Amino acid sequence: METRAAILLVDDRPDKLLALEAVLEPLGEPLVRATSGDEALRRLLHEDFAVILLDVNMPGLDGFETAALIRQRRSSETTPIIFVSALDAAGNHLARGYSLGAVDFITSPVVPEILRAKVAVFVDLFRKTELVKRQGEARARLAHEQAARAVAEDAQKRYARLYAEAREARESAEAANQAKDRFLAMLSHELRTPLTPVLSTVQLLEEEPALPAEVRSSLELIRRNVELEARIIDDLLDLTRISKGKVRLRLEDVDAHRLVQSSIDICRQEIAEKQLDVATDFAAEPGLRADAARLQQVFWNLIKNAVKFTPAGGRIWLRTANPAPGRLLVEVQDTGAGIPPEAIGKIFDAFEQGGHAGEGGLGLGLAISRAIVELHHGEISVESAGPGQGATFRVELPAAVSARGVPPAEDSAPAMDPARPARVLLVDDHPDTLRSMERLLRRRGYLVITATDVASALAEAERQPFDVLVSDIGLPDGTGIDLIRRLRQARGQGEEVPGIALSGYGMEEDVARSHEAGFREHLTKPVNVQAFEAVLRRVVAQRGTRQTVTPSES
């Protein structure tokens, strides 16, 4: 009689259990569900299993605690356990899992073929082990030992083959991750590039002195949303930066109330469409030393969620306070869908949607918000009485002196000498970007030389001198890095070329390559005009102040 090789699936989420069943059904083995650690232990009292697939994160007994109890029972002390987790298996997770006798640690979403192959090995091993037991009962002790040795040898071979398959799968996954990073970087570049001429043109129009107030307000709205669109694009890369600890802040004196109000303005249309009542109580001293764009990203995420999950005619409160000296609290409360108790503890995890799966979005906003708040040495928390009872999010940050008495951050770069305007070699293959940036720089008094590729830039540099290079990185016949290196060689003895990289590529490695090649600054498109001009004036003022380097150093 063929041995029944049952497989125990343990997860508190029915949708994940259903997905595992769909993956393993082709094996033709009995699939037994358990929705908690306690239920899994009860199942093990009545039945032996070929392998156990165990979720790490569960309410009550988590996966690690359940595994420890499984190992304490004689009948299940050797049952293979494969941990399944939505989090990357690294560090103490792996160490703890293997210390409990786990045979593998799989990150979801799983690759069906790999999971099926791994489970099939243990099913086959379970059958052979049971066969050996029956033969041992029917034969002499010597025959039993020989059969057991044969099975062990066969199992060893299967384990060596499984290890090789796992290594190949890991290498394939690493290659896929690298391809994903390259794709995201390219996608980010292609999405950012068209935003650059839009943003620079809008800012040029905003500077027109005779602009009607209504038009100026509309242009401000366009600019604000273009900048926000660029930030949303950054979300595609932020999760990778956060996991690697590479998120960098650009600190300045900011007014928290202005950031909250700007976030409300961005959501104004959705608020009007749902006829929501938005009440504000700004009672705090709002001064902060913070990254304004990043912090507005946090407030926008919270307000956007409140609008999204509050039904038509509902209410949203936005409050600020100073709960203690040197602390500033921003509170977002709504009368919306609320959060189930079991989801509260996971609401700030990546890809978690607080029990509202299917409502749209990737579930990244709150995870990124938590990372940003923690980088500001603050705390973010949430309270909810349950489904249909609304939610209250709180962000508490270290406060600075009152923003009402703090002037805008001073620009340390000196003003340009009108008697000797700086000459800028501007290189970009995107016609709209080149044209809009040229107009912007000329309006600010710079003499601008334009080029669309490496060859034409080198030709222009040979024809006439320039003070600073502003170049895109991706060019038709090379890169901005190739260009600055060849310009340095042309000047002789490794003389430095003051340069600013202006690119849609903004990964950490892109910035590092720019600096290694000789660019003093790397700005990511679409760039804020005021920030760009400040950097440009600083680089122009510093030209000639740095030591030259030898050709070997370049």
CA distance 26 to 22: 8
Which pair of structure tokens corresponds to residue 526? 């679409």
Name the amino acid, one letter, at 87. L
Closest alpha carbon to 524 in 251, 289, 206, 250? 250
Q: Are residues 26 and 144 in the same domain?
A: yes
pTM for this structure? 0.46
SS3 of 276-329: the string is: CEEEEEECCCCEEEECHHHHHHHHHHHHHHHHHHCCCCCEEEEEEECCCCCEEE
CA distance 457 to 468: 12
For residue range 322-332, what is the model confidence (pLDDT) as tens digits?
999 999 999 99
- Kindly state whether residue 240 falls inside one of the protein's structural domains: no
Asked, for residue 2, whether it belongs to a domain, the answer is no
Q: Is residue 465 in some structural domain?
A: yes
- Tell me the residue range of the domain where 335 lies: 251-405
| Contact partners, residue 237, CB within 8 Å, separation at least 6 | 184, 185, 188, 506, 507
Taking only the tens place, the pLDDT of each residue in 217-270 is 888 788 777 776 776 666 666 666 666 666 677 788 999 999 999 888 878 878
Q: 277 and 354: one domain?
A: yes
DSSP, res 401: S
Given the DSSP bridges, would you call strands 468-471 and 423-427 parallel, antiparallel or unpaired?
parallel
Residue 468's pLDDT is: 93
Residue 353 sits in a domain whose CATH number is 3.30.565.10
pLDDT at 493: 59
E strand intervals along 357-516:
379-383, 391-398, 423-427, 447-451, 468-471, 474-475, 478-479, 499-503
Same domain, 280 and 394: yes
User: Is the bond preceding 109 in cis, omega lying within 30 degrees of 0?
Assistant: yes
Whether 313 is in a domain gets the answer: yes
For the chain, how many residues are written?
554
In a domain, 339, yes or no: yes
pLDDT at 472: 92
Q: What is the pLDDT of residue 164?
A: 83
Is there a single domain that holds both residue 339 and residue 448?
A: no
pLDDT of residue 548: 37
Positions of the chain with pLDDT under 50: 358, 360-361, 401-413, 545-554
Q: Is 165 exposed, middle or buried (0-12, 13-18, 19+ CB in 10 A)?
A: middle
Last residue in a domain, options 352, 376, 405: 405
Q: Are residues 396 and 533 in the same domain?
A: no
Same domain, 341 and 478: no
CB atoms within 10 A of CB 166: 14
Residues 6+ apart with CB under 8 A from 298: 369, 372, 373, 380, 395
245 located within any domain? no
* 49 and 162, same domain (yes or no): yes
Q: Which residues contact residue 324 at a Cβ distance below 8 angstroms, ignoring those fewer than 6 apart?
A: none
> Last residue of some domain: 348, 375, 405?
405
Q: What is the pLDDT of residue 211?
A: 82
What per-residue confidence (pLDDT) applies to 400? 73
Q: Does some domain include residue 141?
A: yes
Domain count, the chain: 3
CATH number at residue 137: 3.40.50.2300
Statement to judge: residues 258 and 388 lie in one domain = yes
Last residue of a domain, one of 128, 144, 177: 177
Contacts 24+ apart (CB under 8 A), 374-383: 375/247, 375/249, 375/294, 376/249, 376/290, 376/291, 376/294, 376/295, 380/298, 380/348, 382/339, 382/344, 382/347, 382/348
Instruction: Note the helical H segments in 193-212.
Output: 195-206
Query: Within this chain, do residues 398 and 507 fall inside the same structural domain, yes or no?
Result: no
Tell me the two tokens of residue 47. 């039945």
Average pLDDT, the chain: 82
Can you tell me the distance from the alpha carbon of 10 to that of 76, in angstroms, rounded to the nearest whole number?
15
Same-domain check for residues 334 and 435: no
Burial class (CB in 10 A: 0-12, 13-18, 19+), 364: middle
Same domain, 16 and 42: yes
Please tell me the distance from the alpha carbon of residue 94 to that of residue 98, in angstroms, as a whole number: 6
Q: What is the pLDDT of residues 429-488, one digit of tens each?
A: 989 889 988 998 998 889 999 999 999 999 999 999 999 999 998 899 999 999 999 998
Closest CA to 83 of 74, 73, 95, 533: 95
Task: Judge whether 185 lies within some domain.
Answer: no
Residues 401 and 427 in one domain: no
Beta bridge partners of 381: 394
